[in-house]
Amino acid sequence: MISKQIPDAGGLPWVGQMPQMTQDPLQFLLGLARTHGPIARFTMFGKSFVLVSDSEYVREVLVTKANLFPKSSRDLAIMGPLLGYGLLTTNGAQHKKLRKLAQPAFHAKRITTYADAMTKLATSLTDEWRNGETRDINVEMLQLTMYIVSKTLFDTDRSAMSGMADQIGHAIHQLQEVADFDFTWYDLVPQWLPLRVNRQRQPARHMLDQIIEGMIAERRPDGSNAHVEDRGDLLSMLMLAEDENGERLTDDEVRDEAINLFVAGHETTSNALTWTWYLLSQHPHVADKLRAELDTVLAGRTPTLHDLANLPYTQQVIKESMRLYPPAWVLNGRQAAEDCTIGDYEIKQGQVIFIAPYVMHRLAHHFPNPDEFQPERFTPAMEEALPRYAYMPFGGGPRVCIGNSFAMMEAQLLLATIAQRFELQLDPAARVATQPMITLTTKYGLPMQIRARQHMTDPAEQRADPRPSVDEAELVLA
């Protein structure tokens, strides 16, 4: 059988589609799929890439032929030195080893113990909100998920983490800026050039290493595992995990895995929640339906893990938000290990494959009126009718996000905790735009006005902001 040739998007000589990809990667990739169909080739700086946007083709790359499509060597060369060599940044035997040893830390029995900490931290943070004030909800959600990942990963409470959180958050933000720059310019701009991004590489990574290595050393004072205590956090699990041969992770592997998990578990959930608050502010009928469910089920009390089964619409809101704004908007490139095919299309060894959940989630043949916010798309019957890889906010196959159940539990609990206490209204002066970096974040933040719900008696009501408001002045485990 003769393989088909992949449709080519054309472009400028050598430069290819780099200008379009740099200016607006979301619309460029989405336009590529809508114009050229389920598979298309494009070039950047003389290198060829293939965008796959058919659910069956995605299944081939991520599942049935996963061994033929490891993460691309270029992506790992960029991410490894920045984040360490953990689950996100390794291939082959090392990835399998890390996945096997880390998996018990994410078993349902383990992660359900974190539910209470999540709601307590959400309540503690929002107790500081004052009725009528305006806050950048992107910053608030980043701070909240920072505290949660610190508690669940390192068993560090909010008061102890406050100063360290700023350091870690700043370091991670710097590393993300570096990674974002490298994904475009890695092959052309040497790291020795005296650019700002190059100057911040080593200091940012060194700061993360120091903090996490200090935590590891504190738990292993004599250098052995004999006195390592299981504190119920993920760091304990990583330090104590061993395979059937008694092999454990080295301290360097524990450190790198912790950094990988911190990055993966921090901005992804915060961005999902930020975009959810934005969408709710633009669709009052959805917000009303959500709060009606919360009022009926919770009646003002803090949600528990067991409540999630009775909050189906809350879950649908989260899922639909992640359809429109998936935090992992594009997966790391997959690179063909040998000549092969995707469907009937010929793929040459070394070819890099792009899979973009942002694109998959906005295809009209899977999601009619794809740009509309409709949580009802994720009723059990509707979700069951979707092809397996039409919706993939957590990736798929052997490399599916190890913390997907953790993330869904966290997002639902935080949304339920906050939404029953507050209404968040978009500031009239807000500029809303996407910024696709490692995760899909907001370009200008997301200023929103805090409105304590009138029937709720909470600290925010009691500490009403004396300044005039802007208006007055003008688990279910997935």
List, for residues 317-334, the tens digit of each pLDDT value. Answer: 999 999 999 999 999 999
Tell me the C-alpha distance between 30 and 27, whole Å. 5
Tell me the C-alpha distance between 261 and 86, whole Å. 8
Convert the pLDDT of each residue in 425-441 to its tens digit: 999 999 999 999 999 99
Region 401-414: mean pLDDT is: 96
The model's pTM is: 0.92
Q: What are the tokens at 103?
A: 């998996």
Distance of CA 448 to the CA centre of its chain: 22
Tell me the C-alpha distance between 234 and 264, whole Å. 13
Tell me the C-alpha distance between 434 and 140, whole Å. 17
Q: What is the pLDDT of residue 160?
A: 67
Convert the pLDDT of each residue in 225-235 to its tens digit: 667 888 888 89
Is 266:149 a contact under the CB 8 Å cutoff? yes
Convert the pLDDT of each residue in 59-68 to its tens digit: 999 999 999 9
Region 112-127: mean pLDDT is: 95
Domain with CATH 3.30.43.20 in the chain: 1-83+327-360
Q: Look at residue 373 and tell me whether its pLDDT is greater than 80.
A: yes
Q: What angle do CA 333, 335, 341 make, to 5 degrees?
A: 115
Domain with CATH 1.10.630.10 in the chain: 84-326+361-473
Pick the CATH number of 1-83+327-360 from 3.30.70.3270, 3.40.50.300, 3.40.50.261, 3.30.43.20: 3.30.43.20
Please indicate whether residue 290 or residue 216 has the higher confidence score (pLDDT).
290
Q: Look at residue 477 and tell me whether its pLDDT is greater than 80.
A: no
Q: What is the pLDDT of residue 59?
A: 98
Region 385-392: mean pLDDT is: 96
Region 117-144: mean pLDDT is: 96
Q: What is the pLDDT of residue 32?
A: 97
Q: What is the pLDDT of residue 459?
A: 44
The CATH superfamily assigned to 84-326+361-473 is Cytochrome P450 (1.10.630.10)
Please indicate whether residue 61 or residue 266 has the higher confidence score (pLDDT).
61
Tell me the C-alpha distance between 82 and 61, whole Å. 26
Tell me the C-alpha distance between 274 and 297, whole Å. 24
Tokens 């119920």 sit on residue: 232
Q: Look at residue 299 and tell me whether its pLDDT is greater than 80.
A: yes
